[in-house]
Each structure stands twice: as C-alpha cells, then as structure tokens.
Amino acid sequence: MKFSVLLPTRNRLELLRLAVESVQIQDHSDWEILISDNASDSDIAAEMAKLGDARIKVRRSNRLVAVTDNWNESLSMASGEYVIMLGDDDALVPGALSKLQILLEEWAYPDAIYAQARQYAYANVVPGHPAAFMQTGYNAFLEGSTEPFRMSRDIARKMVRGALAFRILYGFNMQHFVFSRRLVERLQPKGPFFQSPYPDYYAANAILLASDTLVVTPDCISLIGISPKSFGFYYVNSNEKEGDEFLNNRATDVVANDARYPRIPGSSMNDSWLCAMETLKQNFPDEGTSISHFRYRSLQYHAVLQSGGKRRYWTVLRAMRLWEIPVFGLAAVTIALARVLPGKMSRRVGDAISHALFSRSPRFDPKRRDVPYRSILEAARGSGA
C-alpha cells in the first residue's frame, strides 16, 4: 500500500531534511513525499534532488501563498491510497508506516485513522523551560485506551461539538490523522479538503463528520515539533502577529471585513478558530452544527484583558453587548473575591468560573519530561514512541 506524505514547507530547510529523513528510514518502502514549497528563500527542489530519491517530489510557489493554499497544493500531488500530513519540523517515528499498514488491513481499510502523537519542543523554545522536552497531548477519547477501536458517530459528534464551543477535547493537528483518498474525494463537493485560515481545525472536524469508519489507536506514529519559527513557538512566546505573518494568516482581516462574523478584538487564534467553525457549519448544515459565539466573545475579552494594554478595560467594555456587562462583571467580582477569601472552597469556586469561561482545554496533566535529544529526529529514534 502506498502512503502519500504531505510536507508543506517554507524557509526551514534544516528541519525539512529531518522530516524527510524520518520517512526515508521507514521499514515500509511504498511511500512518496510531496513537498509544497511556499516561496522559500533557498532552492528546496535542488536540495532535495541531492538525495537522489525519485519518491521525493517538490513543487514550488513563486509567491507567498496562504498556509491553507500551500497545504492543498501538496495534497493535489498525492497518488497514494492513504495520506499523512507532516509539518516540516515534525517527524514520523520509526516503523510508523508498517504499523499503519497492519492496522489498515486489520480494520478493513477505514476512511481514516486517528493516532496518538507526541510533542517535541526544542531547547529554549518554550518560556520557562530551557531544556528540550516531550509531552503527550490531551485526547478525551483516548483516555485509558490501550488497544485500537472504532470511534462511534456519537463520540465523533461530541468532539466536533466541543470544537464548535471553542473547547479542545482532542488534538486537531493533522499529524494525528491518516486519511484515505476516497474520503478526500467524498469531501470534494464541499470544496478543498483544507479550508479556512486554520486548515487543521477545519479538516480534523470535517474528517470526524464525514468518515463512515474512523479507527483510533493509542500508538504514537509521529512527533509534532515546536521549533523556532513554528507557529507554536510564536504562540507560546506571545507573538501571534509574527506567527501570522510567517503563515500568511489573515484570519483577523477576514473576520473584521465579513458581516457574518461578530468581530471582537483579541487573539487572532480565536479569530482563525471562528473562521474554521463557520466554514464547518456552512459545509455540514445537516449535522445541526451550532457555534458558541458567546464562548468566542468570552475568550476574546479574556485575551484583551491578559494583554496588559493600558486601554484594555475600555476595549472590552466598548466591545461588550449590554447584557454581557453584568454577566462578566459578576463573574469577575466572584473570581476576585473567591481567590482572596480564605478557604480552599472559595478559591475552587473562582477557579471553576474562570475555567468555564476562559479555558480552551479540559484540566489535564501535560506531563512534560525533559529529554536529551538535540533534534526531533533524534527524539523519534530514541524515545521509543
């Protein structure tokens, strides 16, 4: 069985080499790597040609395009029965493709597989954590699972409802997914496979809604990199603007100029998320999808208040609807009082209100562990993932 590994890239040649090598060392040899070069400064095609492997194909855009367009470009090159997506700072773990081959055969070739993935953060990338580390992200449907299973439609819809309510109940990163070409073809009437300024937020939930058979496995098949110049790096370092420039992400402009969107000042991540969910709702009207604009607005108010700007309170008050002022005012007073009053119960009440209004993820222990690996490829080879 042939796997198509999508590798969109821009200006990260050294990391790209590691991602490519993680595919080359697989013990399953029927694969192709499809590199969509988004106007990199270096000659990616020439560098890849030095590897002398005809299974590696490169297509270059001569102008900077949006990240979503670049992802769709790489997908348009695919000829394999199943597709895997990697960022250029990610890596497959050794043996991933052979494990997937066995899993696909055992489950009669499902529409898609959702597999565990782990994050690998390079040293000195995450503030307050100078060492390289690894951690496993939260997935509600993988808790306690030790064997593969088929995801029910009810669970799939529950996960999507969480995304529409601006809550992360599972990892939206495309590195978790292996999806079939027939699923891509099934979704073609709804437009490109990747849509909105946050293509993974859209595509992950579209896969859950469109798949007749979706198999989940707790086995890790890939490492997701957090490296300098990754959006994750910009985000954890509170520099969304530069991250948006790197991705050529214009979600905030889209939201500001489209009457469908209730534009609220705040985080561009929330704007991108809103765009993805509005697109999902438009493309799957029969699913009864309902977006929590209240949660979107809550997260945006919180982002403004956390920014520390001198006019942040006025910005929030000016954006609020009249009925929101007493709701958030009461919540703010309750949180403040609960946290200063003595007693654990009082503080718990404040924390619970804050979490309900402003947290994107359920409470979980991220379990970071420091590792000695200097690169994601070393981590993939040595972690036993």
* HEC letters along the chain: CCEEEEEEECCCHHHHHHHHHHHHCCCCCCEEEEEEEECCCCCHHHHHHCCCCCCEEEEEECCCCCHHHHHHHHHHCCCCCEEEECCCCCEECCCHHHHHHHHHHHCCCCCEEEEEEEEEECCCCECCECCCEEEECCCHHHCCCCCCEECCHHHHHHHHHHHHCCCCCCCCCHHHEEEEHHHHHHHHHHCCCCCCCCHHHHHHHHHHHHCCCEEEEEEEEEEEEECCCCHHHHHHCCCHHHHHHHHCCCHHHHHHHCCCCCCCCCCHHHHHHHHHHHHHHHHCHHHCCCCCHHHHHHHHHHHHHHCCCCCHHHHHHHHCCCCHHHHHHHHHHHHHHHHHCCCHHHHHHHHHHHHHHHCCCCCCCCCCEECCCCCHHHHHHHCCC
**280, 205 contact by CB (below 8 A):** yes
Residue 261, pLDDT above cutoff 80: no
pLDDT tens digits along 42-82: 999 999 999 999 999 999 999 999 999 999 999 999 999 99
- In percent, the amount of the chain with pLDDT more than 70 equals 87
pTM of the model: 0.91
* Tokens 């654990």 found at: 344
Tell how far CA 147 is from the center of its chain: 24
CA 96, CA 93: separation in Å to the nearest integer? Answer: 6
Look at 2-11, 190-199, 254-263, 269-278 and tell me which has the smallest mean pLDDT. 254-263
Residue 373, pLDDT above cutoff 90: yes
Supply the mean pLDDT for the chain. Answer: 88
pLDDT grade for 259, boundaries at 50, 70 and 90: low
